[in-house]
Amino acid sequence: MSIEVKNLSFSYGKLRALHDVSLSLEQGAVGLLGPNGAGKSTLLRILLGFLAPDAGEGRILGYDIRQEQPLIRRAVGYMPEDDCFIPGMDAVSFTSYFGELSGMPRQEAMKRAHEVLFYVGLGESRYRLLETYSAGMKQRLKLAQALVHDPRILFLDEPTSNLDPHGRTEILELIRDISSKKGIQVLLCSHILSDIESICAYVVILNKGQVAAQGDIQELKEINYRLFELKIKGESEDFVKKLRDLGCRVEETEDKILKIYMPADQDKMRIFEVARQTQVQVRQFVRSQTSLEDLFARAVGVD
Amino acid sequence: MTIREKGYTHWDGQLRQTRFPWWPITRTGIKLAFKIKGFRLFFVFSLIPSFVYLVGIYISERMENFRFMIKGSEKILQINPGYFKSYLTSDFLLFMMVMLLVFGGARLISDDLKNNALQLYFSRPIQKKDYFLGKASILFFFLLILTLVPGLVFFLMKLIFAASFAFFAAFPWLLLSIVIYSLLVTIFFASYTLLLSSLSKNKRYVAVLIFAVYLFSDIIAAILNEIFRTPYVALFSLKVNLQQMGAFLFQQKAHYAVPWFYSFLVLAAVCALTVWVLGKKIKGVEVIK
């Protein structure tokens, strides 16, 4: 296991940010999801050693998160959410500077800085002052400084925030390339579910400081429930109430389509039985593809 | 802007644990300071007194050649610990040091706070003390060039121009005084600057603060002196405290009849406050409780 934490807890004063979080993550891209205040950033900060957990233990690449923080930071690259730069520097000196601080020899850091800047698409503008960079270029720069020392794990905190659609696509393409072809594990923390769905095979959903769900995205979507979309004719009130009594979650969209999230152990024919009992005509019945949004909504208990 | 003009390759080197992980911070900080126009100008100006005093040492050893120029000013050119003290504690030199701190020191931490750079530093295998030492060493570099280096050069040049060790034999403790005073001034000013730089994200505000606190401490001491007529109010002035320490270390009569260790305590208190504030203010991430 490259990242393994057991019973991790952390509080900011009286505010409990993480409670009894246990994770076991292997190679590949992992998405870290959760609403605001769920504890995602706190978890990243603990993994990086910025914060010491109140309880629990953890290992990253075999290094203890309490005792061996310098070794973890040497093996991990971190791309923060906020814009980070040092005024007066150009991209090459900035990137090589952080390579040196990671423990690279000066010459090697400089050579490597050129390479990663070309890789992230800043080759042409690597001698420009950072103050003149656009939001998209600053995102790439943050990725370059996270990659410069060739980490084994990358922690990416909202890597596509503040980007236009084109810039977002390019950054996602880079992350996909890094995680799938370069053998670097990626822990992607994002609010944008489609970003996670497009890159990660595995997802961890945090809610109120606890793990609400974790596992392979496809399996989670399959195992937990099936989604059906219906159009009906007649009074829907009784129909919906009876479905809810069966354990289904029912949502009505603006165009009057009923989305029924049915537990995996229920037979879909029960929907027709309920329709017959409540004298409702089923005009349309479609087995729909569940999305990460659906999974997320179920895990954190919001519509 | 195309992605992956060159592919990503793994680095086959070995990351090493260096004895001085703060050194890249210092080296880069010095380079960045020299890019600031105002800083370069003041740095050059601040070197002028050291050249003047060096010339003074040369003339003092060739008095017969320059007698037409001196005309009764021989006393000024007597090279003794007082000469060193007058250079190292001169109002002009201290003022120029403050100006260097204003132009080159104000931004050291405030820029990192403003641009969220701290989380980049602390996601590397460096500790808080490495970060502070790296930043402080930038100031050490410039301040020691204005204090320790000229002090040692003056001493050496005095021996060379005199072509004897008589001066060394007469004042064997002087070298130690130069070293201790230079370190004292440097550590104090570095602490003072880092303390103020950590208080705001706005480097202009910090620059004003560095200048104003130094200046107003002097003004307040003068006003209190008018009111209370006691030398102890001089302890409010940062400049006077440095000069009092200089007078003690170079075994000269102090301007104010206040024991030297009071001044030392004031300067040490500022350094202690710096350590405490930096420990509280500087974190890898914002933690809101």
Pick from A208, A240, A258: which residue ends a domain? A208
B62 falls in which pLDDT band (50, 70, 90)? confident
Do A225 and A213 contact (CB within 8 A), yes or no? no
User: Domain of B30?
Assistant: 23-64+74-281
Query: Are residue A106 and residue A135 in the same domain, yes or no?
Result: yes
Pairing assessment for the beta strands A153-157 and A76-79 based on DSSP bridges: parallel
- Between the CA of residue B30 and those of A108, A170, B40, B190, what are the distances in Å? 21, 36, 11, 14
Q: CA triplet B137, B138, B140: central angle to 5 degrees? A: 55
Residue B270: is it exposed, middle or buried by C-beta count within 10 angstroms (0-12/13-18/19+)?
Answer: middle
Q: Are residues A45 and A175 in the same domain?
A: yes
Task: Establish if A115 touches chain B: CB-CB under 8 angstroms.
Answer: yes
Q: What is the pLDDT of residue B157?
A: 95
Give residue A65's domain range: 3-208
The CA distance from B148 to the nearest CA of chain A, in Å, is 29
Report the residue from A50, A112, A116 with minimal CB separation from B122.
A50
Closest listed residue to residue B161, CA positions, set B56, B57, B87: B57
B-contacting residues of A 7-36, CB under 8 Å? Answer: 12-13, 15
What chain B residue is nearest to A116 in terms of C-alpha separation? B8
Q: How far is CA A3 from the centre of its chain?
A: 15
Q: Pick the closest to residue A92 from A119, A120, A113, A115 (CA basis).
A: A113
Q: Tokens 């489609």 map to which residue?
A: A194
B186 or A66, which is more confident: B186
In a domain, A89, yes or no: yes
Stretches in chain A below the pLDDT threshold 70: 1, 221-224, 289-295, 297-303
Residue tagged 């406050």 (tokens) = B273
pLDDT score for B72: 67
Mutate to test the interface with A, among B116, B124, B202, B285 (most CBs of A within 10 A): B124
Contact across the interface for B124 and A73, Cβ inside 8 Å: yes
What pLDDT, on the 0 to 100 scale, is given for residue A298? 65
**A 257-276 residues inside an 8 A Cβ radius of B:** none
Tens-digit pLDDT profile for residues B220-242: 999 999 999 899 999 999 999 99
A185 and A280 share one domain: no
Contact A90, A131 (CB under 8 A): no
Report CA-CA distances (Å) from A5 to A64, A153, B57: 10, 15, 68
The β-bridge partners of A213 are: A205
d(CA B159, CA A255): 96
Question: What mean pLDDT, rounded, does chain B reach?
Answer: 91
* A201/A73 same-domain check: yes
Q: Looking at the 3D structure of chain A, how many domains does it have?
A: 2
One domain for residues A35 and A108: yes
Q: Which chain B residue lies closest to A181 (C-alpha atoms)?
A: B8
| Residue A218 domain flag | no
Q: Model confidence over B2-47: pLDDT tens digits?
A: 555 457 889 888 888 888 999 999 999 999 999 998 899 999 999 9
- Do A195 and A244 lie in one domain? The reply is no
Shared domain for A270 and A139, answered yes or no, is: no
Which among B5, B15, B123 is the nearest to A118, CB-wise?
B5
Average pLDDT over residues B145-154: 96
Mapping DSSP to helix (H, G, I), strand (E, B) and coil, where does residue A204 land? strand
CA angle A24, A59, A153 (to 5 degrees): 80
Name the DSSP letter for residue B21.
Answer: T
Cβ-defined contact of A103 to B11 (cutoff 8 Å): no
pTM of the full predicted structure?
0.83
Predicted pLDDT of residue B99: 95
**Over 70: is that where the pLDDT of B286 sits?**
no
Interface with A, mutate which of B2, B3, B22 (most A CBs under 10 A): B3
Q: Is residue B111 part of a domain?
A: yes
**Which residue from A minimizes the CA distance to B28?**
A97
Could you say which of B3, B17, B111 has the minimum Cβ distance to residue A121?
Answer: B3
CA dist B70 and B76 (Å) reads 10
Quick one: tokens of A222?
A: 């399959």
- Residue-wise pLDDT tens digits, B192-224: 999 999 999 999 999 999 999 999 999 999 999
Contacts of B113 in chain A (CB under 8 A): none
* Residue ending a domain, choose from A174, A208, A242: A208
Q: What share of chain B is helix, strand, coil (3-state, %, to 5)?
A: 70, 0, 30
A214 in a structural domain: no
Specify if B55 maps to a domain: yes
Confidence band, pLDDT 50/70/90 cuts, at residue B258: very high
- Output the domain CATH number for residue A96: 3.40.50.300
Q: Is B117 exposed, middle or buried (0-12, 13-18, 19+ CB in 10 A)?
A: buried
User: Is residue A230 located within the same domain as residue A188?
Assistant: no
Task: Measure CB to CB from residue A85 to each of B21, B115, B127 and give the nearest one.
Answer: B115
Rounded CA separation A111/A124 (Å): 15
Residue B283: its chain A contacts at CB < 8 A? 50
Q: CA-based diameter of chain A, in Å?
A: 78
Check if A108 contacts B (Cβ < 8 Å). yes
Residues of A within 8 A of B24 (CB-CB) are 97, 100-101, 106
* Residue A45 belongs to some domain of the structure: yes
Give me the residues paired with residue A287 across strands: A228
Q: Tokens representing A163?
A: 């980007």
The answer to whether residue B110 sits within a structural domain is yes
Cβ–Cβ < 8 Å for B186, B143: yes
Query: What average pLDDT does the segment B68-90 reach?
Result: 83
Residue type, B21: P
Q: What is the pLDDT of residue A107?
A: 94
Q: Any chain A CB within 8 A of the CB of B287?
A: yes
How close is the nearest chain A Cα to the Cα of B98, in Å? Answer: 22
Q: Is residue B95 predicted with pLDDT exceeding 80? A: yes
Which are the contacts of A14, defined by CB distance < 8 A and separation ≥ 6?
none
pLDDT of residue B200: 93
Residue numbers in B near A112 (CB within 8 A): 11
Q: Residue B11 and residue A84: Cβ atoms within 8 Å?
A: no
What per-residue confidence (pLDDT) applies to A7?
Answer: 92
The amino acid at B289: K
- ipTM for the predicted complex comes to 0.87
Q: Is B244 exposed, middle or buried (0-12, 13-18, 19+ CB in 10 A)?
A: buried
Same domain, residue pair A178 and A33? yes
Distance CA A92, CA A115 (A): 10
A100: nearest CB among B24, B127, B288: B24
Which residue in chain B is spatially nearest to A170 when comparing CA positions? B3
* Under 8 Å between Cβ of A7 and A30: no
Structural domains of chain B, count: 1
Inter-residue long-range contacts of A159-164, CB under 8 Å, 24+ positions, other chains counted: A159/A79, A159/A188, A159/A190, A159/A195, A160/A190, A160/A192, A160/A195, A161/A81, A161/A191, A162/A83, A162/A135, A163/A135, A163/A136, A163/A139, A164/A136
CB proximity under 8 Å: B 118-157 to A: 119-127
Contact of A182 with A166, CB cutoff 8 Å: no
In Å, how far are A236, A254, B62 from A282, measured between CA atoms?
A: 11, 18, 114
For B122, the closest chain A residue by CA position comes to: A50
The arithmetic mean of pLDDT across residues B134-151, rounded, is 97
